[in-house]
Amino acid sequence: MTQIPGTTLLSILANVAGGGGGSLLSTLYGSGTSGAGVSTDPLTALRLATKNRSREVAATAKESQTLRDVTDFRKGVAKAGTIAQALDDPRVLKVLLTANGLADQLPYAALAKKVLLSDPADPKSLVNRLADSRWSAVVSAFQFATKGIDTLRDTAVQTTLADGYAEVAWRRGLEAKTPGLSDALDIRARAKTFTSALQVLGDPVARRVITTALGIPKEIAFQELPTQEKAITTRLDLKRLQDPKFVDGLSQRYLLERQKSASPTDQPSLSFLAVQARSLFV
C-alpha cells in the first residue's frame, strides 16, 4: 500500500476525530472517546510556546504577583547587611532559587543556605557532596562564599534573576494546560550542558525528560548508580545533546509520552495518532 503523506494523514485523522469515527479510533488505538473531544496537541503547544516565548514572558513579568515578588526580593537584598542575612530572607531565597530552577528546594531553606554559602573550590564542601547537579552550576555562578552579598547587589544580576523568575512563572502556567511542556522547554534551553550520564541522573528535569523519552522505566532509580548510567548511555549518545534538532525531537517524544501516560483512556491527540498510524500505512 502506498504511504500516505503526513499532512494528508493528519487531515484524515482530524475528520475521523471530528465526525462519527470514535469507534474507529477505539479499534485502532484501544481508546475511548470523551465528551471533551481531542485533547490539546502538545506539539502545537510546544511550537506556540517557542514562537511566543519573548512576548509572553514579558507579559508575565508585568503581572502583579511577579512584580510583587521581584520588588520584595530587591528590598530584601537592600536590607541585608551580609549574604547570610540575605539568604535568611524568604523573599530573597524565593526569587533566587526559583529563577535558577530550584523552586522545589524552597521547603529546605536551611539546607539551601548552607549549600549556597559553600565553596565550590573545596572538594569537601557541601555543594560537592550533593547528588543534585543543579546546585553546582548555581553555586559556581554566584560564588557567595568568596564574593558575599556584592553579587546580589549587582543591578545586572538582579535583572537576570527577575527575568528568570518571570520565565519560570510563565512555564508554570503552560504546565497547567500541557503536562510536561515546562520540562520540554527547559531541556531545549539546557541540553548542551549535559555531557555525562551522571549529570543527567543528578538533574530532575533532564532525568525525567531523557528517561521518559528513551522508555527507561522509573524503577531504574532503585538500581545501582552504574546500572542507571548504563541504561542511559546504551540508549543515547550524549554528544547528540549538542544538536538542537536532536534535542527538539527528544523533547517532542517526551511530550507525547507524557500525554499518553497521563490520559491512557482518553482519545489521543492528532500528533500522537499520526506518529502511531505511520506504521499502518505502508
pLDDT at 275: 39
Domain extent listing, the chain = 38-178, 180-277
Give tens-digit pLDDT for 211-222.
999 999 989 989
Whether residue 3 contacts residue 281, with contact meaning beta carbons closer than 8 Å, is answered with: yes
pLDDT at 262: 73
pLDDT at 38: 33
Amino acid at the residue 188? R
pLDDT at 87: 98
pLDDT at 282: 32
**Which of 152, 183, 136, 142 minimizes the C-alpha distance to 76?**
152
CATH fold group of domain 38-178 = AGR_C_984p-like (1.10.3700)
DSSP character for 81?
S
* Cell 514572558, located at residue: 57
What is d(CA 243, CA 267) in angstroms, rounded to the nearest whole number?
Answer: 33
Give tens-digit pLDDT for 120-138.
999 999 999 998 889 999 9
pLDDT at 263: 58
- Cβ within 8 Å of residue 7, ≥6 positions away: none
pLDDT at 261: 82
Spans in the chain with pLDDT lower than 70: 1-40, 263-282
CA dihedral (174, 177, 182, 188) in degrees, to 10, reads -90
pLDDT at 13: 36
